[in-house]
A and B are shown apart, each in its own frame.
Chain A
Amino acid sequence: MRVTNTMLINNMVYNINQNLKTMEKLQYQLATGKKFRVPSDDPIGASKSLKFNTDISKLEQYKRNAEDALSWLDDTEAALGEINEVLKRAYELAVQAANGTYEGDDLTKIKEEIDQLKEHLMQIANTTYAGRHIFSGYKTDQPLLIEKDGKIVYNDVFVGDLALKEDEVFEYNVGLSEKIDVNIVGIKVFGVGVVGEFGDFENNFSGRKGDAGDSVTLIDVFNKFSQALENSDADGLQNAISNLQASMKQISSVRAEVGAKMNRLQLTTKKLDSQINNVKELLSYNEDVDVAEAMMNLSMAQNVYVSSLMTGAKIIQPTLAQFLG
């Protein structure tokens, strides 16, 4: 084949350009640490990256949700623990009062303490977490119990449609199609109606609605206890003991539920952590450059580029014209 000067120059320029392109690509990869800059560099990799990034964003949000739920449940658990303490103290007092050695003044003192404990119970019922009443179902902007005409009853606003319902349980997303119930509706803890109104004690705590002005079972237990003390009613005191036992049983079943949820959430948080790590690893594997390899490739490309420049300079320069006298 006949080789002409234009050919030489064109080929040299083309090849040098190709080498520069390779260098530029490697340089970009090293500068950004990413394998591709536009989806067409790697359509499949890019669409994988898209999914991984979304997954990470979702998982991180699930983790935040789980943490939120956990601190809500922490507060719920603390409140339930306190209720348990109150019931325990009341039970001690009831046993003391019922053994018949106390009378008159002693009983009045016990009654005073019981009344105090009752007030405390109401305060616990209206516990807030970040300004929200934890036992009020969906209506966290309202306290659960109020004092009306000297009696502690369910909040006035729970009227008609707004009555506090058992199913006012809100869920948080803590995984893809994995939700967790967060709140405990007050009815489950405090009960609706006076003791024995719906037959067995437990019946006050499920299948009920908290309407405006409804009596509160736990409060009623204390009311009845207080009354028995006032009247030195031995039967009433025995009843109070069994009522308090039943109340404690109810509270510990709720506490068990909360505890189980907290366990589950802790496990979920751990699981989410490891999932986030996994996806991040996949993402990195998918789109991050192997720096060592890229560096090697770059120095190889550099060598090729330099030698193409050198040969270019050698080939282009001389023609016969240089050597003719």
Chain B
Amino acid sequence: MDFGFNTAVQGLLASQKSLYVTSHNISNTNTKGYSRQEALQRATIPHLLPNIGFLGTGTEIYDIVRIRDSYVDFKYWNENAPLGEWAVKRDTLTEIEKLFGEPSNSSFRQYLDDFYKSLESLSTNPSDLSYREPVVETALALTKHINETAARLLELKEDTKFAIEAREKNINSIANQIASLNRQIYSMELDGRKANDLRDKRDLLVDELSKIVNVRVHESADGKYTVSISGVTIVDHTDVNEVKMVEDSEGKIEFHWENGSKVNLKSGELKGLLELYNGDGEDNTYRGIPYYQERLNEFAKGFAEGFNEQHKEGYKLNSNDKGEEFFSYDIDNPAATITVASNILENVENIAAGGISGNAEDNGNLLALIDQRNTGVYFGFNSSPDDYIKSIMSNYAVDSTQAKRMKDSQEIILQNIESKRNSISGVSLDEEMANMVRFQNTYVAAARMITTMDGIIDVTVNRLGLVGR
């Protein structure tokens, strides 16, 4: 008799547990990284009634599992790293584009045009001092723009370094969190059941880490969890192999493992940032900030040198003296220091306009200086300054376009994977509602069963055998 009663109670309890799981799912619909759970139910071991057969003994919830596809996780982590890499590259290259200022009224083109315009104007009025002043003013505007661009590139580099430092802390902190979760999960799972919610938490941490660096995870048969970057483990179960940022003598930044070997990066935000910080475009390295600094220095130096060279061939106004330097700069840091030379600033008559003499209307050297803009003679970069600026612009424009495209397409790929993940692991409220009703009905039915059993026992105990009274 107890038999049927117990069976009904088991049904009651199972429905109850399933309802709890449903409730847990609904509560966590919006929890980041949560995967839906399912209570696994099965019939208990039947009872053999001799000569009759097996009698069912009821039901039990034997496990609560999370619904998750580790292959989708693997894909997500693989594609997240390139997204991080191209996103930081895109952001920084957009910054570079903005600070070079093309196309706008505060761009190299504009300042060069203004400078050469003032030289042309002077060439038709070389004896007039009021035409010499604008040459100095426009030259200063040009050099200040170069100085400012150099300063802003330096600032951008510092910002990038700051971002790298932040990533260093991030990586190590995530690694430590994963390690401590590993310990917790390992000890909780000793009996073989999976610690679903903690595992979700751990996967979420790997999600975060996979954006910064390329990672692989592996879980051994006995539940030891390792995370590795390009084959070197950063988290080995409960141990962490921290990474460290190292700056070498050339000012380039690398990441080292605890044992001093170099961290090999294949993709991820960190790789993007390091390439932007270190990349000087030599030996097929990425064209990062140093590359543009170098190009700008080359421009400043080449332009000043070439212009000075031609300027020195001319004569000062009303004098037999040849011209001196027009631009001055510090050879170690040309772009940041280029400016108009002091002899010109002190006296505009020192602008060497004359080609064969210092006579008032001799504009021979001015014409040569203007021609230089087309021919590129004497300029360190062997081309016209406009072409050089244009080639710098093409570089960052093309790189930035590439970064933008890569980021956009990577975003779509990741978007798809995330959809897939949500399709498998996400909570569907409709489904949970349906389940809720289902489990509730079962619960009610099981309860009704108990009432029925109660009725049977009542009959058996209280109503039977009145004969003997």
Residues in A lying within 8 Å of B, measured CB to CB: 1-7, 10-11, 14, 34, 36, 38-40, 43, 46-47, 49-51, 53-54, 57-58, 61-62, 64-65, 68-69, 130, 132, 136-142, 161-162, 168, 170-173, 176-177, 179, 183, 287, 319-321, 324
Interface flag for B55 (CB, 8 Å): no
Query: Shortest CB–CB separation between residue A62 and chain B, in angstroms?
Result: 8
Some 24 contacts from A to B, beta carbons below 8 A apart, are: A6-B426, A34-B103, A38-B98, A38-B400, A40-B400, A40-B404, A43-B393, A43-B398, A46-B103, A47-B397, A54-B113, A65-B123, A132-B360, A132-B361, A138-B360, A140-B127, A140-B360, A141-B318, A142-B360, A161-B320, A168-B362, A173-B123, A321-B433, A324-B437
B43 beta carbon closer than 8 Å to chain A: no
B140 at interface, CB cutoff 8 A: no
**In whole angstroms, what is the CA distance A99 to B129 when docked?**
55
5 A-B pairs with least C-beta separation:
A4-B426, A138-B359, A39-B397, A40-B400, A43-B397
Q: What is the distance, in angstroms, from A66's C-beta to the closest C-beta of chain B?
A: 10
Query: With A and B bound together, what is the CA distance between A324 and B398 in angstroms?
Result: 57
Structural contact, A320 and B430, CB atoms closer than 8 A: yes
Among A36, A50, A136, A321, find the residue whose CB has the most chain B CB atoms closer than 10 A: A50
- Closest residue of chain A to B428 (Cβ to Cβ) is A4
B112 interfacial contact with A, CB 8 Å: yes
- 16 additional contacts, CB 8 Å, given A11-B419, A54-B113, A177-B371? A3-B423, A3-B428, A4-B428, A5-B427, A6-B427, A39-B102, A39-B393, A50-B102, A50-B386, A130-B128, A140-B361, A141-B318, A171-B367, A319-B430, A320-B429, A320-B430
* Minimum CB–CB distance for B79 against chain A, Å: 16
Q: Does B94 contact A (CB under 8 A)?
A: yes
Contact check, A40 vs B401: say whether CB atoms are below 8 A apart: yes
The residue among A6, A11, A141 with the most chain B CB atoms within 10 A of its own CB is A6
Chain B residues within CB distance 8 Å of chain A: 29-30, 93-94, 97-98, 102-103, 109-110, 112-113, 116-117, 120-121, 123-128, 318, 320, 354, 357, 359-364, 367, 370-371, 374, 386, 389-390, 393-394, 396-398, 400-401, 404, 415, 418-419, 422-424, 426-430, 433-434, 437
User: What is the CB-to-nearest-CB distance from A151 to chain B, in angstroms, rounded to a whole number?
Assistant: 25
B426 and A7 form a contact (CB under 8 A): yes
With A14-B415, A138-B360 in contact, do A39 and B400 touch (Cβ < 8 Å)? yes
A56 to chain B, nearest CB (A): 9
Report Cα–Cα, A38/B393, bound state, in Å.
10
Chain A residues positioned under 8 Å from B389 (CB to CB): 50
Q: How far is the CA of A14 from the CA of B423 in the complex (A)?
A: 16
Closest A residue to B436 by beta carbon equals: A324
Which chain B positions have C-beta within 8 A of A168? Answer: 359, 361-362
Q: How far in angstroms is the closest Cβ of chain B from A73?
A: 12
Q: Which residue of A lies closest to B425 (CB)?
A: A4
Q: Which residue of B lies closest to A164 (CB)?
A: B359
Whether the Cβ atoms of B361 and A46 lie closer than 8 Å is no
Please name the residue on chain A nearest to B437 by beta carbon.
A324
| Given A50-B102, A57-B117: A141 and B127 interface contact (C-beta under 8 Å) | yes
B residues less than 8 Å from A162 (CB atoms):
359
Nearest Cβ in chain A — how far from B447, in angstroms? Answer: 19
Q: Do B393 and A4 touch across chains, with their CB atoms under 8 A apart?
A: no
Q: How long is the Cα–Cα vector from A64 to B390 in the complex, in angstroms?
A: 26
B437 A49 Cβ-Cβ under 8 A:
no
Enumerate chain A residues within 8 angstroms of B116, measured Cβ to Cβ.
57-58, 61
The reply to whether A50 and B103 form a contact with Cβ atoms under 8 Å apart is yes
Give CA–CA (A287, B103) in the complex, Å: 10
CA distance A10 to B364 in the complex (A): 69
Closest to A37 in B: B103
Closest CB of chain B to A1's CB: distance in Å?
A: 5
Question: Is there an interface contact between A46 and B393, defined as CB atoms closer than 8 Å?
Answer: yes
Q: Is the CB of B360 within 8 A of A47?
A: no
Cα separation A50 to B357 with both chains bound (whole Å): 36
Question: CB within 8 A of B422: which of A10, A171, A320?
Answer: A10
CA distance A263 to B396 in the complex (A): 47
A287 CA / B104 CA spacing, docked (Å): 12
Q: A40-B397, A64-B121, A319-B429 are contacts. A51–B386 as well, Cβ < 8 Å?
A: yes
**What residues on A are CB-neighbors of B93 within 8 Å?**
40
Does the CB pair A61–B117 fall under 8 Å?
Answer: yes
Nearest neighbor of B404 in chain A, beta-carbon distance:
A40
Q: Which residue of B lies closest to A322 (CB)?
A: B433
Interface contact A10-B127, CB-CB below 8 Å = no
Q: Which residues on the A side are within 8 Å of B127 (C-beta)?
A: 132, 140-141
State whether A38 touches B94 (Cβ < 8 A). yes
The answer, among B320, B361, B390, B424, for a CB contact under 8 Å with A183, is B361
Q: What separation, in Å, do the CA atoms of A7 and B426 have in the docked complex? A: 8
> Given A138-B357, A140-B127, A170-B362, A53 and B113 touching (CB < 8 A)?
yes
Give min CB distance, B33 to chain A, whole Å: 11
A6 to B29, CA, bound (A): 8
**Bound: A5/B28 CA distance, A:** 12
Could you say which residues of chain B place their CB within 8 Å of the CB of A137?
Answer: 359, 361
- Chain B residues lying within 8 Å of A171, measured Cβ to Cβ, are 363, 367
- A319 adjacent to B433 (CB under 8 Å): yes
Contacts A46-B397, A138-B361; A4 near B423 (Cβ below 8 A): yes
Q: Are B426 and A49 in contact (CB under 8 A)?
A: no
B374 CB contacts on chain A under 8 angstroms:
176-177
Chain B nearest CB, measured from A163 CB (Å): 11
Give complex CA distance A40, B120 in Å.
Answer: 33
CB distance from A209 to the nearest CB of B (A): 14
Q: State A319–B369 Cα separation when bound (angstroms).
A: 76
Is B361 within 8 A of A7, CB to CB? no
B286 to chain A, nearest CB (A): 16
List of B residues within 8 angstroms of A58 by Cβ: 113, 116
Q: Across the interface, which residues of B come within 8 angstroms of A68, CB to CB?
A: 124-125
A65-B120 in contact given A5-B427, A6-B427 (Cβ < 8 Å): yes
B354 nearest CB neighbor, chain A only: A138
Are B113 and A6 closer than 8 Å at their CB atoms? no
In the complex, which of the residues B113, B393, B424, B433 contacts A320, with contact meaning CB atoms closer than 8 Å?
B433
B116 → A minimal CB distance (Å): 8
A173 contacts across to B, CB distance below 8 A: 120, 123, 367, 370
Q: Are B29 and A5 in touch, CB under 8 angstroms?
A: yes
* A162, B204: Cα distance in complex, Å: 86
A10: contacting residue among B386, B394, B419, B429, CB under 8 A: B419
Q: Chain B contacts of A62 at CB under 8 A?
A: 120
Docked CA distance A49–B97 (Å):
15
Contacts of A53 in B (CB 8 A): 103, 109-110, 113
In the complex, which residues of chain A have a beta carbon less than 8 angstroms from the beta carbon of B97? 38-40
Query: Bound complex: CA of A140 vs CA of B126, how far in Å?
Result: 10
Query: Do A5 and B109 have beta carbons less than 8 Å apart?
Result: no
Distance in Å: Cβ of B73 to nearest Cβ of chain A: 16
Q: Which of B390, B396, B426 contacts A50 (CB 8 A)?
A: B390
